[in-house]
Chains A and B, each alone.
Chain A
């Protein structure tokens, strides 16, 4: 092996860098999916839970466009139920605490939406 020091240093750097997720993973221990606090007195969201988990950001974006740009305030869900298009009056009526609901998954997945630059962030009932 020629230039042993350089090559070994290179190999060590390569292996250390590319195994980062594994050794940080082992150090941090097992990961638990964050438990969100679901609304106490409401069982049904505007759409089924699978759809909401994957597409809620798209829905919120569409709702903003509908409400603010088209002045259309009625949303007909896939089940045929009508909802008022409003973050404050529909979504946040049930999900009234961001730290216990939104932030749980968002922070864990490094998602930082800019909802609260315009809307008032609900802190839950005092």
Chain B
């Protein structure tokens, strides 16, 4: 936790100093381009790598009655037996985190002592909140990347700022995103079992995203910068005509801190646990139908031309030893052979 915090703060300080010392083109042009290339190439590489991994066994996780006889009701969403069923289960998993909804919490009670399990929906609730708010915040940012701004983005902004608090209007997703992130961090810090399990690769992405959100919210509400210049700057990036110092001098250093956090997140993404985003589609426990009783799952690394021995040949080889050991054999040894 403290190491991750230190690293995240260091990234911010380096970016701040760099931007203040006039290295805006390094942190604002070079780094984002490198980050986008690493992100896209890294994710594609990881997807290709995964798709090359054979799945030797059919191992779907099941959560209910398997497809069986006609009069036995199948839990079709938790134990799909067809491709379409898998699609339905995957949809619910990706959009509603259905498996997280089943999360339970175990606790040892002093009376007894006895162990008690109960349903715990907090993680599901805040994980869902975090992912959807992050998605909306991400989509909202496209007002800086697309010109003219599409009406759907303007609509999202209007809904997001519907409470009309302050100027610029307070976006609900920003506040909810920060709340959810703080819950997800607090969960790791204050639940002693989880804290014992948590490593740097759990804390670092959380703190990095918190830093990203805090710097972004500061830019909007507290330490503002000229967003007309910011748009000129980002449009320069996406049209491959980066703007020079005449524009970047109008943009505060905090913007480059925000951009650097994003770049680090993008570069870190393909090599981290954040790859669960494409990973969920590659999970054999999720993407296989549970039809093992109807369809033979071929282990792809089985060599079809491998030499094999039939039982008859096996018995021919070992018949004498088997008889000696008192094992039953199908063909009795010839009396004549014995002599």
Taking Cβ atoms with an 8 Å cutoff, the residues of A that contact B are 1-4, 7, 10-11, 14-15, 18-22, 24-26, 28-31, 33-34, 50, 53-55, 57-58, 60-61, 105, 107-114
Contacts and interface: CB of A to CB of B under 8 A. Distances in A.
A52 to B, nearest CB: 9
A21 B224 contact: no
A31 B250 CA distance: 17
27 contacts: A2-B52, A2-B54, A3-B51, A7-B51, A10-B47, A11-B48, A15-B40, A21-B238, A22-B238, A28-B239, A31-B147, A31-B232, A31-B235, A33-B229, A33-B232, A53-B226, A54-B252, A57-B167, A57-B168, A105-B227, A105-B228, A108-B148, A109-B144, A110-B143, A110-B149, A111-B227, A113-B167
B252 to A, nearest CB: 8
B278 interface: yes
Contacts of B285: none
Nearest to B230: A109
A15 B44 contact: yes
Contact of A54 (B53, B54, B164, B224): B224
Interface stretch (B19-27, B57-65, B153-161): B153-161
Interface in B124-165: 142-149, 153-154, 157-158, 164
Nearest to B144: A109
Interface in B17-72: 39-40, 43-44, 47-48, 51-55
A34 to B, nearest CB: 7
Most buried by A among B143, B166, B226, B236: B226
Contacts, number: 115
A21 B146 contact: yes
Contacts of B225: 54
B317 interface: no
Nearest to A113: B167
Interface string B224-264: 11111101100110111100000100101000000000000
A53 B226 CA distance: 5
B300 interface: yes
B39 A18 contact: yes
A61 B48 CA distance: 52
B250 A53 contact: yes
Nearest to B249: A50
B271 interface: no
B278 A31 contact: no
Contacts of B241: 30
A25 B44 contact: no
Contacts of B91: none
Contacts of A19: 40
Given A25-B146, A57-B167, 15 more contacts: A2-B55, A10-B47, A11-B44, A14-B47, A20-B146, A30-B235, A50-B226, A53-B228, A105-B227, A107-B148, A107-B149, A109-B143, A109-B227, A110-B153, A112-B158
A112 B229 contact: no
A31 B231 contact: yes
A2 B282 CA distance: 11
Contacts of A107: 148-149
A11 to B, nearest CB: 6
B281 interface: yes
B262 to A, nearest CB: 13
B44 A14 contact: yes
Nearest to B235: A31
Contacts of A53: 226, 228-229, 250
By Cβ-Cβ distance, the 6 closest A-B pairs, closest first, are A25-B238, A31-B235, A21-B145, A110-B149, A110-B143, A61-B167
